[in-house]
Amino acid sequence: MQFALSEEEELIRESARKLAADRLAPLAEQLDRGEGRAEFLANLKLLAENGFMALNVKGLFGGTEAGTVSFALALEELAAACASTAVTTSVTNMVGEVIQAVGNEAQKSTYLPKLADGTYPAGAFCLTESGAGSDPAGMKLRARRDGDSYVLDGQKIYITSGEYAGLFVVWGVTNPEAPKGKGISVFLVPADTPGVSIGKAEKKMGQTGSATNTIHFDAARIPAANLMGKENDGFRVAVGELAGGRIGVASVSLGIARAAMDAAKSYARERKQFGQAISDFQGLQWMIADRELDLHAARLLILDAAAKKDRGEPFAKEASMAKLFASEAAHRCTDTAIQIHGGAGYCRDFPVERYARDARITRIYEGTSEIQRLIIARETLRQLG
């Protein structure tokens, strides 16, 4: 089995690491305070110009065509510097991938280059509703056919990048009489479409630099040509794309976890108690050893899922395992990092408390840890026949 990265993958990882250190890390604390939005948007543009907003999109449409392994490697590096920027990058990449997978040639030619080059600062998925979170098939947003148009009415909640996304991928009910999950379609909706309005940003515990909004659709009329794929086939698309998005969330989780433990290890070597560095105490060394195991296992699970996706193999189970383990590992790593810092870790003078807040959402979005366990069990039993 070949574990070595290709030359291109190494190059992309190093490029992401340098950009993250130079531009993302210095801004992260400011974003956490709710400031620096202009600089944040400038960094998104820079990421696009360097190929990070369309890593798995074909070059024909302006993409990097680097693959899912490169996507995972890049997101880990970005998240280690700034989780808010990394999650925006992850979602934008997944918007590009769903358009490439399901869209027709006109849709791909129209929208993918704008995501790839930063014309759209970000892309956003509009799937979740107040009564349709872990159960997206229960959505109520109505998409009614009217001549050569569809008219959208309803709202979506907790939409990442809602207030600065240039393009929404929106799921809506096109056949309310169909069995649950069977009458749903997916549409491309530019953010400047009349009838689309953006609610205020949620006041969040962490990842505050990444805006999360409610999106309102009030008789929003879009051309019928903006339907992606077949009518009433959108739920299948959603399920498939969520699996790819879980690789992104797993990678973001790993980046946060790594940053937390890097900070903790440095602090442990500098902090002295009882006349010696606290890193010399066995109890603390075992804490570091356990978390090093978490980091390594998470990375292997992520790269396994990413490699399977790149080879065109089924990867839903592997993506859920990676997302579950990496997000739970991020919780353990950030908690350990605070414990190693002692009282200092509870203060905002050190970044580990921010890492803990940033990590908490990873166990919730793109499917909770409980949902991941359901998927893993279902796929395991299905494979048994």
Tell me the pLDDT tens digit for each residue of 160-179.
Answer: 999 999 999 999 999 999 99
Domain limits for position 231:
124-235
- Average pLDDT of the chain, as a whole number: 96
Q: Which domain-ending residue is among 66, 96, 121?
A: 121
With residue 170 as reference, give the H or E element that holds it. strand 167-173
pLDDT tens column, 89-108: 999 999 999 999 999 999 99
**Does position 378 have pLDDT exceeding 90, yes or no?**
yes
At 358, phi and psi to the nearest 5? -65, -35
Residue 4: burial class (beta carbons within 10 Å; 0-12, 13-18, 19+):
exposed
Q: What angle do CA 68, 70, 75 make, to 5 degrees?
A: 95
Dihedral class, residue 257 (left if φ above 0, else alpha if ψ from -120 to 50, else beta): alpha
Active site residues: 366
pLDDT tens column, 297-315: 999 999 999 999 999 999 9
Q: How many domains does the chain have?
A: 3
Same domain? 241 vs 348: yes
Strand 123-126 to strand 167-173: parallel, antiparallel, or no bridges (unpaired)?
A: parallel
Q: Which domain-ending residue is among 200, 235, 270?
A: 235
pTM, to two decimals = 0.96
pLDDT tens column, 250-277: 999 999 999 999 999 999 999 999 999 9
Examine residue 316 and state whether it is found in any structural domain, yes or no: yes
Same domain? 82 vs 65: yes
Same domain? 269 vs 365: yes
Could you give the count of Cα atoms lying within 13 Å of 311 in the half-sphere of its Cβ? 9
Question: Are 112 and 92 within 8 A, CB to CB?
Answer: no
Q: Which domain-ending residue is among 103, 121, 139?
A: 121
Under the banding of pLDDT at 50, 70 and 90, the label for residue 385 is confident
Question: Are 115 and 107 within 8 A, CB to CB?
Answer: no
Distance CA 14, CA 16 (A): 5
Taking residues 146-150, what's their average pLDDT? 97
pLDDT tens column, 27-50: 999 999 999 999 999 999 999 999
Same domain? 111 vs 129: no
Examine residue 90 and state whether it is found in any structural domain, yes or no: yes
Same domain? 216 vs 268: no
Examine residue 2 and state whether it is found in any structural domain, yes or no: no
Q: Which two tokens stand for residue 290?
A: 């356990």
pLDDT tens column, 1-27: 678 999 999 999 999 999 999 999 999
Q: Which two tokens stand for residue 168?
A: 């929404």
Strand 276-277 to strand 167-173: parallel, antiparallel, or no bridges (unpaired)?
A: unpaired
Examine residue 1 and state whether it is found in any structural domain, yes or no: no
Residue 43 maps to which CATH number?
A: 1.10.540.10
Residue 190 maps to which CATH number?
A: 2.40.110.10
Same domain? 180 vs 134: yes
